[in-house]
């Protein structure tokens, strides 16, 4: 009864299922997860930063989906260990909500370290652990205690952590259990089968990168990681008693939200956008507010901290603005080009400043708010910006003022002032190998350049040689120069695209290796003799890996078989969509004369046997295999003991039939003995 009430309470708070993976099918869903590889060296953290022993792979022996469950398997191979680690980077990233999974841990064993945890995606607060880490649950060794931890503070080695643990009754944990956190702006709670065992509030975490932001670093998008490590500083290392293979099973992973994120209204540009109509979704989705109280008192959305006041006549405005606070307005830009934006603002004495941005790119530069001598004495401030023609653009208002600067914002009016009536592409600074030019996006890309709106009028062409986001095939992103990115095998995204908020596309795809399918880069797949199905494809969409199809053999015979079985039997696979009933297999064999003997062979095998190939599809009845020396079966120009042995081995056969009787018998022995000697 208690669990039913608790479950009902949870669903009432987090009623919107925002994301899930139920692990249906027979392969990992690569639209949601990306495997990671190796020992961490390629990420600059050998031993994955913990002196772990395993190397991660996506081999079917380490990572597979079966019977509706994900399996991560740690294997011992001699003195080496392999396992698997997957993450949702670029595919599933979340701020706040209930994150939960149904998990079955491995049997107890020294050095085993399974975990379900989260890391920030391109955190503005810096590297680990200034950017934060949320360990939803970890287990080690005896698998009899669950641990939930936050890592925060400063970058390593000055990092800090705070956490809690729970020792369920009954010793080692067995079977499936639900592990969850409920993550709110001011608090994170940990659960084991819906029993809360730990709670941390915002006064128990911090980041040196934003000392004035009480919620940081846990007010940013984080992604999931599931892995099973072998060894490390915390669990120690495996010994002879550690059971291998060790398996971590996951039945499902789910994310629940209090409210579905969406636009508050259909903002149309050109047009007017009211400040109080910011996006739905809550803190860090539709807005970011420094405190959690609506100081304005004008309630439009309960339990939200945006400070909204009444401007009379039923209107409203946003005020009591603090540094770094922002509002997001998802908008449809009907016609791209140059726009004039007029913001309606008021400030009693101090004034302030703000800017508008898109995907983290400052579109306007600082817009100054003057002192208007009253909180309701409205004026308009203006700026010019370029907007692309697009739907659902996440425009943001960002307060750049100081703690002492206060102002109110009522609305934004967007007016298109571009002289081009056809909504053609806007020209931007373009970085080329020769410097900077003003070009349209299409012309810039065609010239091999990168579009850099942040460079203004190309008055600083040297900026073209700065750093930007560099994407790698596994979806990771680092800030680097264009040359360094190319040297490292990455794809440069441009100077105006830092890793926040650039999402690097996955360049791996389904690779068919016989009957099996795994996610690899195209070059790696082809080098392994596999068939690459395209970047971003999943093994579920690659039926040729596991399906049957026509398999042609050298004698033109055909059988329906899997690709692996076809290759194993020496056939040529025609594809999973081909069937023997509709496939004409070419005959690649023919008559091969070895001396006076004839056999059906492939041309290469015939040549290796010292024979004469009669042509593809030729038969022994069509070809006369005459020997200049009848009885010289081994073609050494001498009739001797080896030829006699051949006759005896073919007794009652046809290959040593010298007298044409149709059977090798005693008469053929007499003929051979009579011809003994050189031909």
Average the pLDDT over 47-56 and give the result: 93
pLDDT band for position 591 (cuts 50, 70, 90):
confident
Kindly report which listed range (37-51, 480-494, 598-612, 660-674) carries the lowest average pLDDT score: 480-494
Higher pLDDT, 90 or 72: 72
- Residues labelled as active-site residues: 133, 138
Q: Which of 357, 358, 356, 379 is nearest to 369 (CA)?
A: 379
Whole-Å CA distances, 602 to 563, 609, 612, 614, 625: 22, 11, 11, 10, 17
- Is 563 exposed, middle or buried (CB count within 10 Å of its CB: 0-12, 13-18, 19+)? buried
- What is the overall mean pLDDT for the chain? 81
Residues 6+ apart with CB under 8 A from 64: 27, 28, 71, 73
Task: Identify the pLDDT of residue 336.
Answer: 86
**Given this model, what pLDDT does residue 123 score?**
83
Residues whose CB falls within 8 Å of the CB of residue 379, separated by 6 or more in sequence, listed in order: 344, 345, 346, 370, 372
Total domains present in the chain: 3
Alpha carbon 76 to chain centroid, angstroms: 27
Place of tokens 């006064």: 203
Residues 303, 228, single domain; the answer is no
Quote the tokens at residue 389.
């023609």
CB distance 168 to 202 below 8 Å: no
Q: Is residue 24 pLDDT above 80, yes or no?
A: yes
- The CATH number for 650's domain is 1.10.1330.10
Half-sphere exposure of 304 (CA within 13 A, CB side): 25
What's the CA gap between 344 and 413, in Å, rounded?
A: 8
Buried b (16+ CB within 10 A) or exposed e, 120-131: bbbbbbbebbbb
Closest CA to 339 of 354, 356, 359: 356
Nearest CA to 83 out of 41, 145, 36 is that of: 36
pLDDT of amino acid 448: 67
Map tokens 């795809």 to a residue: 509
CATH number of the structural domain spanning residue 10 = 2.60.120.200
Residue 637 lies in a domain: yes
**CB-based burial label for 403 (10 Å; 0-12, 13-18, 19+):** exposed
From residue 287, give the alpha-carbon distance in Å to each of 29, 135, 263, 325, 355: 31, 26, 11, 8, 15
The percent of residues above 90 in pLDDT, for the chain, comes to 37
Are 646 and 639 in contact, with CB atoms under 8 Å apart?
no
> Among 37, 36, 60, 87, which residue's Cα sits nearest to residue 518?
60
Half-sphere exposure of 262 (CA within 13 A, CB side): 8
Residue 391 belongs to a domain with what CATH number? 2.60.120.260
Distance CA 581, CA 549 (A): 11
Instruction: Render 311-356 in DSSP notation, one character per residue.
Output: EETTEEEE-S--TT-EEEEEEEESS-EEEEEEEEEE-SSS-EEEEE
Q: What is the pLDDT confidence band of residue 55, given thresholds at 50, 70 and 90?
A: very high
What number is the average pLDDT over the span 465-482?
Answer: 68
The CA dihedral of 358, 360, 362, 363, to the nearest 10 degrees, is -10
- Asked whether residue 277 falls in the same domain as residue 246, the answer is no
Q: What is the pLDDT of residue 670?
A: 84
pLDDT at 426 over 80: no
Please say if the pLDDT value at position 306 is more than 70. yes
Query: Residue 602's pLDDT band (boundaries 50, 70, 90)?
Result: confident
Residues 240 and 388 grouped into a single domain: no
Average pLDDT for residues 114-136, to the nearest whole number? 92
The continuous run of DSSP H or E covering 483 comes out as helix 482-487
Asked if residues 352 and 407 have their Cβ atoms less than 8 Å apart, the reply is yes
What number is the average pLDDT over the span 520-544?
63
Tens of pLDDT, residue by residue over 250-295, are: 999 999 986 545 566 668 899 999 999 998 877 777 888 877 677 7
Q: Assess if residue 217 is contained within a domain.
A: yes
Same domain, 277 and 237: no
Which residues are bridge partners to 161 per DSSP?
151
Return the H-helix or E-strand segment holding 5: helix 2-13
Residue 447 domain-assigned (yes or no): no
Residues near 190 by beta carbon (within 8 Å), at least 6 away in sequence: 136, 137, 148, 164, 166, 180, 181, 196, 197, 198, 199
- Domain co-membership, 82 together with 202: yes
Task: Identify the CA nearest to 387 among candidates 505, 271, 501.
Answer: 271
Same domain, 132 and 20: yes
Judge contact between 278 and 329, C-beta under 8 A: yes
pLDDT score at 197: 94
Sort 50 into a burial class: Cβ within 10 Å, 0-12 / 13-18 / 19+: middle
Note whether 8 and 144 are same-domain residues: yes
pLDDT at residue 527 greater than cutoff 60 = no
**Beta partners for residue 399, in sequence order:** 354
- Whether 398 shows a pLDDT value over 80: the answer reads yes
592 within domain boundaries: no
Residue-wise pLDDT tens digits, 324-380: 889 999 888 878 889 999 999 999 999 999 999 987 789 999 999 999 999 999 999
Query: What is the rounded CA–CA span in Å between residue 613 and residue 632?
Result: 18
Q: Point out the domain boundary residue: 386, 416, 446.
A: 416
Asked if residue 231 and residue 291 are part of one domain, the reply reads no
- Max mean pLDDT range (284-298, 436-450, 518-532): 284-298
Same domain, 327 and 249: no
Whether 549 is covered by a domain: the verdict is no
Examine the fold and report which residue of 416, 441, 461 is the final residue of a domain before the chain moves on.
416
**Whole-number Å distance between alpha carbons of 272 and 258:** 29
Distance CA 649, CA 655 (A): 10
Per-residue H/E/C for 371-384 = CCCCCCCCEEEEEE
Question: Residue 50 belongs to what domain range?
Answer: 2-257
Q: How far apart are CA 75 and CA 70, in angstroms?
A: 16
CA pair distance 168, 165, nearest whole angstrom: 10
CA separation, residue 500 to residues 94, 109, 479, 593, 646 (Å): 15, 40, 10, 72, 78
Residue 73 CB neighbours (<10 A): 21
130 vs 652: CA distance, rounded Å: 87
3-state helix, strand, coil in the chain (%, to 5): 15, 40, 50
536, part of any domain: no
Of the given ranges (107-111, 409-413, 465-469), which has the lowest mean pLDDT?
A: 465-469
Residue count (the chain):
679
- Evaluate if residue 6 carries a pLDDT over 50: no
Is the pLDDT reported for residue 7 higher than 80?
no
pLDDT at 221: 87
The answer to whether residues 210 and 100 belong to one domain is: yes
70 pLDDT higher than 90: yes
| Final residue in a domain of this structure, among 203, 231, 257 | 257
| Cβ–Cβ under 8 Å, residues 430 and 452 | yes
Does residue 542 form part of some domain?
no
User: Is 315 found in the same domain as 219?
Assistant: no
Whose CA is closest to 43, among 418, 426, 361, 488? 488
Residues 252 and 319 in one domain: no
pLDDT above 50 (res 510): yes
446 within a domain of the structure (yes/no): no
pLDDT, mean of residues 517-522 = 66
Instruction: Find out whether 216 and 186 touch, Cβ atoms under 8 Å.
Output: no
Is the pLDDT score of 457 beyond 90? no
Q: Output the CA torsion 492→497→503→507 (10° steps).
A: -10
Q: In 3-state terms, what secondary structure has residue 154?
A: coil
Question: Mean of the pLDDT values across residues 31-48?
Answer: 90
Under the banding of pLDDT at 50, 70 and 90, the label for residue 5 is very low
Band of pLDDT at residue 232, cut at 50, 70 and 90: very high
Confidence of residue 10 (pLDDT cuts 50, 70, 90): very low
In this prediction, residue 9 carries a pLDDT of 43
């Amino acid at each position: 009864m208690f669990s039913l009430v608790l479950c009902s309470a949870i669903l009432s708070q987090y009623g919107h299922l925002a994301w899930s993976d139920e692990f249906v099918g027979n392969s990992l869903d690569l639209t949601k997860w990306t495997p990671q590889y190796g020992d961490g060296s390629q990420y600059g953290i050998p031993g994955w930063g913990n002196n772990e022993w395993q190397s991660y792979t996506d081999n079917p022996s380490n990572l597979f989906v079966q019977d509706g469950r994900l399996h991560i398997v740690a294997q011992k191979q001699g003195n080496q260990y392999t396992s698997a680690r997957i993450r949702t980077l670029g595919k599933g990233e979340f701020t706040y909500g209930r994150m939960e999974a149904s998990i079955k841990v491995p049997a107890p064993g020294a050095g085993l370290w399974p975990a379900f945890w989260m890391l920030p995606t391109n955190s503005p607060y810096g590297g680990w652990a200034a950017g934060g880490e949320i360990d939803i649950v970890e287990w080690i060794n005896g698998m009899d205690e669950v641990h939930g931890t936050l890592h925060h503070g400063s970058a390593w080695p000055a990092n800090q952590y705070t956490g809690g643990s729970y020792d369920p009754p009954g010793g080692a944990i067995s079977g499936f259990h639900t592990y969850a956190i409920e993550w709110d702006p001011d608090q994170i709670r940990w659960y084991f089968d819906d029993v809360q065992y730990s709670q941390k509030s915002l006064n128990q975490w911090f980041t040196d990168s934003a000392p004035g932001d009480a919620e940081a670093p846990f007010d940013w998008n984080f992604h999931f990681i599931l892995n099973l490590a072998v060894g490390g500083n915390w669990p120690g290392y495996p010994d002879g008693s550690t059971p291998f293979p060790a398996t971590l099973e996951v039945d499902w992973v789910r994310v629940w939200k209090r409210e579905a994120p969406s636009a508050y209204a259909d903002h149309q540009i050109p047009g007017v956008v009211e400040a109080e109509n910011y996006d739905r979704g809550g803190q860090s989705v539709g807005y970011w507010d420094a405190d959690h109280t609506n100081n304005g008192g004008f309630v439009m959305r309960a339990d939200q901290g945006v400070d909204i006041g009444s401007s009379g006549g039923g209107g409203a405005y946003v005020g009591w603005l603090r540094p770094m606070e922002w509002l997001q307005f998802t908008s449809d830009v009907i016609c791209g080009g140059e726009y004039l934006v007029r913001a309606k603002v008021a400030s009693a004495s101090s004034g302030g400043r703000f800017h508008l941005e898109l995907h983290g790119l400052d579109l306007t530069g600082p817009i100054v708010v003057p002192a208007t001598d009253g909180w309701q004495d409205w004026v308009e401030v203006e700026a010019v910006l370029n907007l692309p023609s697009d739907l659902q653009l996440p425009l943001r208002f960002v307060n750049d003022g100081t703690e002492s600067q206060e102002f109110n914002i009522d609305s934004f009016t967007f007016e298109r002032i571009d002289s081009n009536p056809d909504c053609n592409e806007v020209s931007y600074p373009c970085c080329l190998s020769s410097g900077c030019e003003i070009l349209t996006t299409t012309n810039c890309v065609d010239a091999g350049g990168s579009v850099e709106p942040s460079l203004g009028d190309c008055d600083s062409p040297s900026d073209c040689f700065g750093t930007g986001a560099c994407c790698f095939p596994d979806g990771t992103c680092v800030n680097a120069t264009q040359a360094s990115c190319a040297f490292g095998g990455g794809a440069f995204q441009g100077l105006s695209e830092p890793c926040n908020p650039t999402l690097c596309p996955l360049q791996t795809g389904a690779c068919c290796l016989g009957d099996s399918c795994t996610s690899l880069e195209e070059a790696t797949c082809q080098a392994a003799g596999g068939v690459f199905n395209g970047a971003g494809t999943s093994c579920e969409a690659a039926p040729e890996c596991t399906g049957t199809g026509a398999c042609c053999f050298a004698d033109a015979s055909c059988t329906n078989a899997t690709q692996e079985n076809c290759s194993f039997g020496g056939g040529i696979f025609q594809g999973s969509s081909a069937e023997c009933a509709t496939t004409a297999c070419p005959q690649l064999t023919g008559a091969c004369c070895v001396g006076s003997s004839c056999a059906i062979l492939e041309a290469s095998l015939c040549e290796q046997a010292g024979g004469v190939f009669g042509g593809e599809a030729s038969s022994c009845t069509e070809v006369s295999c005459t020997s200049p020396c009848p009885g010289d079966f081994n073609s050494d120009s001498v009739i001797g003991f080896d030829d006699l042995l051949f006759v005896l081995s073919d007794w009652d056969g046809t290959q040593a039939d010298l007298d044409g009787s149709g059977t090798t018998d005693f008469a053929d022995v007499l003929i051979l003995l009579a011809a003994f000697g050189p031909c």
